Structure 1
Amino acid sequence: MQNTDVAIIGGGLAGSIAAAMLGRAGIKAVLVDPFPSYPPDFRCEKLGSSQIALLSKTGLAEHTLPAATLDGEVWEARFGHVVARKPSDQHGIMYDTLVNTIRTAIPADIPVVHARVTGIATSADRQKITLSDGDEISARLVVLANGLSVALRDMLGLERPVISPCHSITIGFDVAPVGREAFDFPALTYWPKRSSDRLAYMTLFPIGSAMRANVPVYRQMDDPWLREFRRAPEATMRALMPNLQGMMGDFAVVGPVKIRPADLYVTQGHRQAGVVLVGDAFATSCPAAGTGTDKVFTDVAQLCTVYIPNWLATGGMGAEKIAAFYDDPIKTSCDARSLAKAHHLRSLTLSNSLAWRAQRWARFVVRLGLGTLLAIRKRLGVRSASQRSAVPPQPHFDAATR
């Protein structure tokens, strides 16, 4: 029987950050995950400025970002036209690289057990975890960070009613230019012209030397369109996005095409003694809305900096302690924003009511105006720099010469 204060089940993004944060804070913890190295998984593939700000609160941003690729500039296209070219600080990184990089920040005195959890018994005092290798762990608190896994959910009597089945489907793949070394753009985001296309947007961004594509759509998994995309991705993309060829030139999809559906759910029956859920183990988000890492970083930062130290300072681990985390205003606000953004983006993409059509056109006009302003400022800046460089240098006299 291994004894610890906190047992973290699941070594994905949430679990690995929790292990690193608790270890750095000097809190005894054990991380349980069957994979010595996190395997390739089609999930989060880039971090924006808001996610980086949240990651900084965990103390792991400086450790993580060197493994990512900064785009520097993004071209924005709406209705088949490039409307803006603006500075960008998005960092592309494959999910397994992100997780494995964070794992290297886990202090050496935090044991990482490579096994599956086959049993769990919870109480208001201590929790017992049974592993697939026959070992057991006794902990004051269990942090459940095992994502979409259902086995422990059933053991603990948790329920996950689906709020929106197959809310979105995200397609991921690499693209490469044909007949030249690189694309003209550092990164590109393309918003659709027609709601009938059921396309949220397409985003192209660099990861290392590759150009990665993420294409969220609103369809069902049995839609023949998905099979056609797998069969002929380049032709399907050109048909879906007018003038894409003019922006990208000749291109080819390289490597596998990965397709990931996403259901939206929020766990029920979770206010239990001795166990707390974070990330997807508690509630899912829509990948198209890009709020998954917001939720993970917020959950883990609040849990590890505010609640776990306070919980461990007093005896017991009753349900009333655990409930305080779920009622945390920062967490609940983040969860609400994530859910609202998921539904807003879907309606903005699919709805043909006058109000939603007006929103789409308003976004086009605003982005076009901002893009034009940025272009004018850039040209004026270049012209001003040219004029300054054309002025002959003035003679310099030091005090001795005067």
Structure 2
Amino acid sequence: MRHTDIVIVGGGLAGSTAAAVLGRAGISTILIDPHQVHSPELRCEKISGRPQLDRFFRTGIAEAVLPATTLDGENWIARFGFLIDKKPSQQYGIMYDALVNAVRAAIPSGVETIHAKATSIATSAERQTVTLSNGEEISARLVVMANGLNVGLREKLGIQRHVISPCHSISIGFDIAPVGRAAFAFPAMTYFSERTVHRTAYLTLFPIGDRMRGNLFVYRAADDPWLRQMRRTPEQALDACLPKLRRLIGDYTINGDIKIRPADLYVSSGYRQAGVVLIGDAFASPCPGSGTGTDKVFTDVERLCRVHIPNWLATSGMSADKIATFYDDPVKTTCDIRATAKAFTLRSVTIDDGLVWQARRWARFLGRLGEGIVRRTRDRLSPRRVTGDIMRSVATATTRVHPENL
């Protein structure tokens, strides 16, 4: 039987990031995942926004991973077929499997990875025993469950998953390319819904390498005929849910596989146990359209691996009371609450026709429009811009009065 301090079950983004953080801290860790290379799937395809980036940098591995991404630098905001704003942007585009594999490459050599499945876990207030599909057993002080949607092991421990919003949203991923020209005019774009009847939150277009990637977020039933149309004739389906998009970005074609992923919102119960802790989607699911999934992962990992696990290992035992300090961590709970609230707010502001939600939609639109006007005005009046305009005017005037031009 192997002995270690930490066993991580699941090598997706949460588990691999946790392994990298713990390994860099010199904590004895074993990562369990059946796949040597993470396979493609439709999940997080970019890291963006200050909260996510701040959390990512606090894990200590951002510098090793971000070179594998594509930075857009500027994001155009649009609605109703019109450009509202051009915002400086820090969106780092990367396919999910490439992101996970880049994180795995940042795991120190001192962390052992075993390519097998965990088939059972026996827990106690002291040490835990993990049995693997290859017959091996591992004794650890703590088991970190980062196995996402796979509920079998958690159910054996009496941990239940409760769906609070079935098929809450549907994410659609695809490659998009312009027709009749080499590239789109924008470096990246977020195009918001036009009408509630289209049940579309927004479309985000962003570069990954030399291609433009599209992520579309809609609120429809899993058997909606529109989803079949999206697979068969994606350009027509996209025109149907965002009718004025083509007017803004020009003719386009959608290439490659169309990935469609319905997402339930769920929470867990019975997880306050000795010897085992849940992170990422193993604990609760976010709405992909709300943009909080990656923030939740990095928050969980940063708080657990940089704060709580070092404190827990400093004393004997791994009681349920110890584990509870992670679930009650105010930074984590704030992040979890915010993620759930954003999931329901985005859905309501997209599809609800009540007066309150109509007002909130227009408030958002006018707010973004105001930001764009202020930004353009500030750019025009900036000292650098004004100085440049003056210098160009002087140069023009000088050229006009030069003796050779008289």
**Which residues of 2 match residues 12-23 of structure 1 at below 5 A?**
12-23=12-23
Q: Deviations over 1:212-236 (max 9, x none)?
A: 0010100111011111111111112
Q: Which residue of 1 aligns with 2:158?
A: 157
Deviation of 1:391 (Å): 4.7
Indicate yes or no: 2:231 matched with 1:230. yes
Question: The residue matched to 2:27 in structure 1 has which SS?
Answer: coil
Question: The residue matched to 1:358 in structure 2 has which SS?
Answer: helix
| Structure 2 Cα separation of the partners of residues 239 and 6 of structure 1 | 50
367-376 or 100-109: bigger deviation: 367-376
| Structure 2 Cα separation of the partners of residues 379 and 337 of structure 1 | 36
Q: Which residue of 1 aligns with 2:403?
A: none
Q: Which residue of 1 aligns with 2:292?
A: 291
Q: Which residue of 1 aligns with 2:38?
A: 38
Contact preservation (8 Å) 2:81, 2:247:
no
Q: Which runs of 5+ in 1 are unaligned?
A: 393-402
**Which residues of 2 match residues 91-110 of structure 1 at below 5 A?**
91-110=92-111
Contact preservation (8 Å) 2:199, 2:241:
no
Question: The residue matched to 1:267 in structure 2 has which SS?
Answer: strand
| Structure 2 Cα separation of the partners of residues 308 and 129 of structure 1 | 19
Deviation of 1:355 (Å): 1.1
Q: Which residue of 1 aligns with 2:187?
A: 186
Q: Which residue of 2 aligns with 1:385?
A: 388
**Which residues of 2 match residues 359-370 of structure 1 at below 5 A?**
359-370=360-371
243-252 or 373-382: bigger deviation: 373-382
Q: Which residue of 2 aligns with 1:320?
A: 321
Question: The residue matched to 1:100 in structure 2 has which SS?
Answer: helix
| Structure 2 Cα separation of the partners of residues 236 and 173 of structure 1 | 13
| Structure 2 Cα separation of the partners of residues 385 and 376 of structure 1 | 16
Q: Which residue of 2 aligns with 1:275?
A: 276
Q: Which residue of 2 aligns with 1:395?
A: none
Contact preservation (8 Å) 1:80, 1:192:
no
Q: Which residue of 1 aligns with 2:344?
A: 343
**Identical-residue share of aligned pairs (%):** 60
Deviation of 1:35 (Å): 0.7
| Structure 1 Cα separation of the partners of residues 183 and 48 of structure 2 | 23
Q: Which residue of 2 aligns with 1:61?
A: 62
Q: Deviations over 1:98-148 (max 9, x none)?
A: 111111111101100000111211111111111111111110100000001
Deviation of 1:372 (Å): 2.2
TM-score when normalising by structure 2 = 0.94
Contact preservation (8 Å) 2:286, 2:339:
yes
| Structure 2 Cα separation of the partners of residues 321 and 378 of structure 1 | 52
Matched length: 392
Question: The residue matched to 1:340 in structure 2 has which SS?
Answer: helix
| Structure 2 Cα separation of the partners of residues 217 and 57 of structure 1 | 32
RMSD: 1.2
Question: The residue matched to 1:201 in structure 2 has which SS?
Answer: strand
| Structure 2 Cα separation of the partners of residues 328 and 185 of structure 1 | 41
Q: Which residue of 2 aligns with 1:26?
A: 26
| Structure 2 Cα separation of the partners of residues 69 and 263 of structure 1 | 29
Q: Deviations over 1:209-266 (max 9, x none)?
A: 1100010100111011111111111112122213211222111000000000111111
Q: Deviations over 1:311-365 (max 9, x none)?
A: 1111111111111111111111100000000010011011111111011111222
Deviation of 1:79 (Å): 2.3
Deviation of 1:383 (Å): 5.0
| Structure 1 Cα separation of the partners of residues 26 and 293 of structure 2 | 28
Contact preservation (8 Å) 1:68, 1:93:
yes
Deviation of 1:20 (Å): 0.7
Q: Deviations over 1:262-285 (max 9, x none)?
A: 111111000011000000000000
Letter in 2 for 1:71: D
Question: The residue matched to 1:185 in structure 2 has which SS?
Answer: coil
Letter in 1 for 2:121: I
Deviation of 1:161 (Å): 1.0
| Structure 1 Cα separation of the partners of residues 145 and 222 of structure 2 | 29
Q: Which residue of 1 aligns with 2:404?
A: none
Letter in 1 for 2:286: S
Letter in 1 for 2:23: G
| Structure 2 Cα separation of the partners of residues 4 and 94 of structure 1 | 32
Contact preservation (8 Å) 1:72, 1:186:
yes
233-242 or 327-336: bigger deviation: 233-242
Q: Which runs of 5+ in 2 are unaligned?
A: 396-406
| Structure 1 Cα separation of the partners of residues 341 and 18 of structure 2 | 26
Deviation of 1:369 (Å): 2.0
Q: Which residue of 1 aligns with 2:176?
A: 175
| Structure 2 Cα separation of the partners of residues 137 and 369 of structure 1 | 58
Contact preservation (8 Å) 1:69, 1:208:
yes
